[in-house]
Structure 1
């Protein structure tokens, strides 16, 4: 309600700025396409209707997949890395919060008006710190004008109707004086009641693979499927030839079914002989006991629909820029709210024999308020080309609800500032000097709390230098970073299984650097080589988590004695360009020392949750990414672009010890699988169309949680979008864009292997969305 009231106030305040005059709006395409850039840095425009999460927006970039914690929470997974290893920024400022520590917490994201996202698939630690050891994503919100807009007034109205997809409404307006001031206002609302799916919500493996041929129960699969699975040894009444006559006459003496049967034709009891009749059910040679395999759902298995998959998102924001001769100053206020269900999921593994209908659904609520200032000054002093300052305050509250009750709430209050000084080019030499500061306060509450209250401070100094020649270019950078963690006094208590006896602060001193070179090899070929050495300090959950973390179905225990990770990355890219045909092939090796992972102890705690501890081992990541594209001019029939990609990654522990090999295996669970995809894009005058298909292979590299992961089948996702622009000449509405979008057109049962919910929540089935954008 507060956001609706604020929206009304904003509109009434600024309505006089555009009520009297005709206005037109700069086109912001809302369709999806893979990044046209085939480098380790890709700029992805927000041009696809199905981009409901940031992970979904970027999943067609080679090397990047979507974490897919259900349809309502999706983060980018870059070369198998995510969470605290992939820095997420909005307008150059970090928005990492609870979304980095718990997969069910979505990254606050506006799918309607985000302009683009810049993805760096290489280690970006020199520029952004340890949380970018696996890459970074910087979202351009469209809220800040960094140059004067082309038109004096612009208004865009968006309406979308979804069929198995979200309904959405949005308003974006810009008004400016074409000299000094430019102001942007954004309002957007998205909502869906439930997603439909092909088949059942639980994978067939949840029934067929619980009891391996080797014997026993696959407890890892049973827990992932939220199933009650156990084996009972039951007496076989056909195993013995006679019925025990004495026990038949005196049943109170029986200790069980086996007491009523015997191998002897007679029984003597206290001097009396009893003749035992033949057992009519007797089958010679059968065992005395048989196994009774119990497999019951402790959470519902839905058919045709995804239970508890509803979602709603609201966004209200305003940003204003003042331009002057040597630069600009911009301020913005941004408020996002979302509430959604975690589908097919229960906070608890119910006890044996429990009624699955009594399972309480899990909902997530997120509120994020951001206040930001951005300023850029050209030619501030003789040796500097520019100086840029970014300052922001981020207040993020993320909480899990168990039915109507609060399970936990975490407040992340982050203040950050960054100063960038670009040195004036001297011949081939240019560079950047930066200072950054970030202070984050975490406070938690609720009965299912697993993190203490922690204050974390980051301070860093970095320098990047570039040498550009006609035949080649070189770059190098270095960053020194200090990370200080202080644990505040609170009511938080560690579990009896905790590794930490008494919580204490931890400080880390980190150094990261990179060197790179690129060159042209004749007219058609090019090559790039990059080496980086990066460090990341353990995050607060890796250091201090304790107690049940239901969103990852684990009793999670941190270790405050963990060491910083060190990654040494080597990346080689080959390029080819000939008459509109472009190709890129990248091979990389990332060697991690002290790689952090959540290791299985082999024990279970309350509610049958596996007990896991944060541990470290040396790990190597290897991968290959291929991109090709061909642009064709069709004359009167428009333009056509064909592109294709493939990627694969392998994340493997180096010489794991016996405990790691037995409990966790060489590979970690939930790793991305190999993919192959192609996209066809066509444009002719007012028409645009795109069709894409991506094949996800069955995973070959399986992790363990004592029991081995059960791989699910591969699948193919096909998406289509068609749009048409109409010019209106005798109306206040100058242009209307109409589109229809279809996703998962084949209605495939899609279960991404890297999704923690793959066994209980597939991706939505076939979906359509109709959209209309009016430009005034």
Structure 2
């Protein structure tokens, strides 16, 4: 879609807001205004670990991808296909088991299809990131069986904006020698109307690393073909109705980046997204609140080989969600809160070119869910939570054909043939309880049974995947993935001291994994004289995951300053229960420790990251652990009515050569983490 089309759609959305504003003004005459105070939590956050990472924390390390920015959050790692394509992994779960949301609506792209496909979101555009670790399938469907990463922006103001507000961020340096800048601007125009503008531009060179020798015998200190250029802009507008808000936004994102290992391949990405969002609060006998969201995304990326256009990936989608909360009521002395919702998604995917190893597919999903929360209403009483969800998922392939590997098979998408359709009806149920037990302590736990429909590529992939250097073969006969999950959580807070501990376990009867073949059919030869290619099958196997997450932080007065030490530890293990060994790409155990000292506007924060050796999975090798030493120095300032901070972020001070165990093994040896570097930045806020 060209820029003139984008502009026309933006104007159309502005017209839609005007109409909605008129309707909301009429509605004000009928509904009483309701003032809501307190903190709103995401669905299921009461009984599950929930983290919020602010924009300043995201931008502090200069990462150009969400995955790299979140890499060392508790329970979170990253796919790490070079610095430009890195998707979050939560508790060992990646790909289609992690739901990436934009303001609680779906993110439509092809990042789950392949490790070299980036998320069409830059950290500069975000206000915060919310991480829900563990199954969130009740609220967001089976694709959230591993967790949710919700990317929150302020393009649609959810509260009234007073006057003119904004910020400017500038970054320079780092291991990728980047030059980056972004701005956000919010203005309140009166009469409940707010507008928003933001934009960014970022360029990076090939990532600098300690000297290493890659699997091809090439020695150097750069991740080859890892440079990038990206930019984006967005506009949003909203109207505060007095009992809620309604708003629209439009955004465009462009990214051109290289693919490590495939030195002749670069990707040109374009994404446009249009969103409608609103919330209305009521003061009548039936309804308490209605929240609604609708988003449309037009996504495509073109792969270029030696500068010539190659495979074109297109994924267009629509996502909608309505959630209704009833007024609280009482039964047998229990105060009951309920929320019920419907969610629908439709995506249309196509790939045209030599790397089209998945046929054109459309996926339709409709889900109904309800969540009950019950408590006795006393200050120290516990809260029960019970939820149900049912989905209908249809995954339709436009063609099937002749598999290059072993004769006719449905879902090849290579030669024209009859289409193939699969329908699934996954369902999920969850029960949770949390309660304070005194002296700042609280305990909680949950049990759930979750089902997930297999994705289009797990069903229909059948061909050579150049980026992963593998032949990937789907199975059109796969059934719903089924898992049972148990989680126990304890928290403690006293003043500025906080402690949390979580233990979790998951067991799957048929975990869908990409597993390498062995024996006579383990390799595929694409053409005479070409090297053989490893064959991987999407196979359902019994599996289990277990892990723990610990965190502690406190604060001490030290003279005129304050010392704030913190430490976190996480561990996850994933293995097949049929004797097949460890699952691949599971994050090793890790410790992250820091101690921020603040005085007179200065903040100095040394940080130590320790990662142990990995446990080798089937078809993979053990990856050596590493230690990273980082140091951040910042100085807050005021300049008239403008405030801000200048900072320097010194990373990997010991120049440690480190490889990520969560990176695909065929690429890992080409993409070590960044070496010793200095990133400087400034933030202005007004």
- Of the candidates 161, 166, 169, which is equivalent to residue 158 of structure 1? 169
The DSSP-based 3-state class of the residue aligned with 2:68 is helix
- Of the candidates 303, 323, 337, which is equivalent to residue 420 of structure 1? 323
1:227-279 CA-to-partner distances (Å, cap 9, x unmatched) read 5xxxxxxxxxxxxxxxxxxxxxxxxxxxxxxxxxxxxxxxxxxxxxxxxxxxx
Q: Does 1:451 align with 2:368?
A: no
Q: Does 1:44 align with 2:53?
A: yes
1:352-400 CA-to-partner distances (Å, cap 9, x unmatched) read xxxxxxxx52222221110000011111753111111100101111343
1:112-170 CA-to-partner distances (Å, cap 9, x unmatched) read 23111111111000100011011111011222210012x30124333222143321022
2:635 aligns with: 724
Say if 1:745 and 1:426 are closer, same or farther in 2 by CA, change over 3 A. farther
1:65 aligns with: 77
1:759 aligns with: 669
Say if 1:201 and 1:464 are closer, same or farther in 2 by CA, change over 3 A. farther
Q: Which has the larger radius of gyration?
A: 1
1:464-613 equivalence runs, <5 A: 464-469=371-376, 470-489=380-399, 494-497=403-406, 500-501=409-410, 504-602=420-518, 603-606=522-525, 607-613=531-537
Quote the Cα distance in structure 1 between the aligned partners of 2:3 and 2:213: 35
- Of the candidates 127, 140, 144, which is equivalent to residue 152 of structure 2? 140
Q: Does 1:750 align with 2:658?
A: yes
1:211 aligns with: none
Quote the Cα distance in structure 1 between the aligned partners of 2:482 and 2:48: 24
762-771 or 422-431: which moved more?
422-431
1:275-294 CA-to-partner distances (Å, cap 9, x unmatched) read xxxxxxxxxxxxxxxxxxxx
- Of the candidates 539, 542, 557, which is equivalent to residue 618 of structure 1? 542
The DSSP-based 3-state class of the residue aligned with 1:137 is strand
Quote the Cα distance in structure 2 between the aligned partners of 1:46 and 1:635: 30
Say if 1:727 and 1:575 are closer, same or farther in 2 by CA, change over 3 A. closer
List runs of 5+ in structure 1 lacking aligned partners. 15-36, 203-224, 228-296, 347-359
Quote the Cα distance in structure 2 between the aligned partners of 1:338 and 1:90: 18
Quote the Cα distance in structure 1 between the aligned partners of 2:496 and 2:165: 35
Normalized against structure 1, the TM-score is what?
Answer: 0.77
1:125-524 equivalence runs, <5 A: 125-149=137-161, 151-165=162-176, 166-202=178-214, 225=215, 227=216, 297=217, 301-343=218-260, 345-346=261-262, 360-379=263-282, 382-427=285-330, 428-469=335-376, 470-489=380-399, 494-497=403-406, 500-501=409-410, 504-524=420-440
- Of the candidates 712, 734, 747, which is equivalent to residue 623 of structure 2? 712
Q: How far is 1:4 from its partner?
A: 12
The DSSP-based 3-state class of the residue aligned with 1:693 is strand
Quote the Cα distance in structure 2 between the aligned partners of 1:177 and 1:636: 42
Quote the Cα distance in structure 1 between the aligned partners of 2:187 and 2:495: 42
Quote the Cα distance in structure 1 between the aligned partners of 2:175 and 2:516: 38
Q: How far is 1:720 from its partner?
A: 2.2
Q: How far is 1:535 from its partner?
A: 0.6
Q: Does 1:102 align with 2:126?
A: no
Normalized against structure 2, the TM-score is what?
Answer: 0.86
Quote the Cα distance in structure 1 between the aligned partners of 2:409 and 2:565: 55
- 8 Å Cα contact 2:111/2:118 also seen in 1: yes
The DSSP-based 3-state class of the residue aligned with 1:669 is coil
